[in-house]
Homo-oligomer: A and B are copies of this chain.
Amino acid sequence: MSLKKCVCVFHRAWDRMDATMVETTGEKLLYLTDEQLRQGIEAMFFAYRGFTADPDRILQDLAYGRAHHRAIHFINAQPGTTVNNLLNILGVTKQSLNRVLRTLVEDGLVEQQVGRKDRRERHLFLTEDGRALEARLSDAQRARMRDAYRHAGSDAVVGFRRVLEAMMDPEMRRAYTSLREGKE
């Protein structure tokens, strides 16, 4: 670890101790007050609301929820993925996923194919209708992401992604990068 750290603690007019970390990485200094971190936390909260707002609006007319969106998204990203794989990506129980998956199959948005190599596995695919809905949802979400990127600028985008990736849990980061590599 090539960074030298120096942690200073001092009192603020606020309501409790506030740790400020000063860190040197090359010539850069990084001051992180609790207040700045709090702002980051709130930014994350409000941004996630905006992030899901457009798909939520589309889905509520269809009697679907965020759970359906997530399933559709990742089946689209990895056509032919198994139930188990989806479970790991989404981080929910099989009973919970199964309920969502069942409605999607009943409504003709998702197809299940028995595995050729291992016939216990069910490989999941979007049907034509499923892809259509996925396109509607992700178009809306991409539009918002694109606007945000455009407004913030290209340098900001790089930083945005770096912080997000650093914020994931290690297993999540593995799932995330495997998805990225799969797509190339």
- Known contacts A41-B138, A43-B164, A49-B169: A146-B21 contact under CB 8 Å: yes
Count contacts on A: residues with CB < 8 A to the other chain.
70
- In the complex, chain A residues 145-180 whose Cβ is within 8 Å of any chain B Cβ: 145-169, 172-173, 175-176, 179-180
- In the complex, chain A residues 106-165 whose Cβ is within 8 Å of any chain B Cβ: 131, 135, 138, 141-142, 144-165
- In the complex, chain A residues 13-41 whose Cβ is within 8 Å of any chain B Cβ: 15-16, 21, 23, 25, 28-30, 32, 34-35, 37-41
- Known contacts A16-B135, A159-B156: A32-B167 contact under CB 8 Å: no
A-B CB contact pairs (8 Å), 26 listed? A3-B150, A23-B150, A25-B153, A38-B77, A38-B138, A40-B145, A40-B161, A41-B138, A41-B142, A42-B77, A42-B176, A43-B165, A49-B91, A50-B167, A50-B168, A50-B169, A145-B167, A149-B163, A152-B159, A153-B159, A155-B155, A155-B159, A156-B158, A156-B160, A156-B162, A156-B163
